[in-house]
Amino acid sequence: MKPVPIFIALVIVGIALFSFSSLGNFQKKSSTPDGLLSDNQTRDIIDYPKVNNDNNNQAVNSAPSDAISSTSAVIKTEKGNIVLELYPQDAPRTVMNFTTLSSRGYYDNLTFHRVEEWVIQGGDPSGNGSGGTSIYGNTFEDELNPNTKSYKGGYVRGVLAMANRGPNTNGSQFFILTKDTPLDHAYTIFGKVTSGMDVVDQIQVGDKFSTIEVGN
């Protein structure tokens, strides 16, 4: 048998490597039988891309002088209102971040940039999931206490929680679950929808919320 020319051999090897790589990428997108992604894959979807955060000490900064808290808020959207009950007793710093940003008008005219069959996510000024900062400087710590009612209740339909890019990296982005979802306990739950889930179910990518009004 004549030896295979070096050029042809290299082409064959290249095609084989490309095929293997493509198969690997396809396998990473597989889902569980019920249509939901596995815990690790789901986390990748909810987590927004990394933002510049070279100073992790900002996670323990104190609240600013204009910080406020509340047990309720209303997200006003183009399709109707989403009424929220907030949990300052379970996640005081997270609720304070959300209500203070809301009172400042930080969320005004932002969009829900990500909508999946199980979740809607918003709160990013850049509109693509890559931005957002907290009232504490940049990011702040998780509030994941196993003894709280919200933690024990888990990630069920109507839950309001913080999106993050890993432990203690909360900024301004939040999400609302549209169905019970088997997430691990890595996202601070700080409220739930008490009225307007019909509105939540209608939200599409790019839908705006004109403002978030904080209750007394």
The 3 state secondary structure assigned to the chain is CCCCCHHHHHHHHHHHHHHHHHHHHHHHCCCCCCCCCCHHHHHHHHCCCCCCCCCHHHHHCCCCCCCCCCCEEEEEECCEEEEEEECCCCCHHHHHHHHHHHHHCCCCCEEEEEEECCEEEECCCCCCCCCCCCCCCCCECCCCCCCCHHHHHCCCCCEEEECCCCCCCECCCEEEECCCCCCCCCCCEEEEEEECHHHHHHCCCCCEEEEEEECC
pLDDT at 21 over 70: no
Among residues 26, 24, 30, the alpha carbon closest in space to that of 42 is found at: 30
Question: Residues of the chain with pLDDT > 70: what percent?
Answer: 72
> Is the torsion defined by CA of 157, 158, 162, 163 positive or negative?
positive
Among residues 104, 109, 163, the alpha carbon closest in space to that of 132 is found at: 163
Least confident range of 13-27, 71-85, 108-122: 13-27
What domains are defined for the chain?
37-214 (2.40.100.10)
Mean pLDDT, residues 79-83 taken together: 98
Least confident range of 11-20, 32-41, 77-86, 106-115: 32-41
pLDDT at 130 over 50: yes
pLDDT, mean over the chain: 81
Measured CA to CA, the distance from residue 206 to residue 63 in angstroms comes to 31
Q: Choose between 116 and 14: higher pLDDT.
A: 116
Mean pLDDT, residues 30-38 taken together: 30
Among residues 61, 66, 69, the alpha carbon closest in space to that of 87 is found at: 69
Instruction: Identify the band that residue 61 occupies on the pLDDT scale cut at 50, 70 and 90.
Output: confident
pTM of the model: 0.75
Q: Quote the longest CA-to-CA distance of the chain.
A: 86
142, 90 Cβ separation under 8 angstroms = no
Angle, CA 37 vertex, CA 139 and CA 153 arms, to 5°: 65
Mind listing the pLDDT tens digit for each residue in 166-179? 999 999 999 999 99
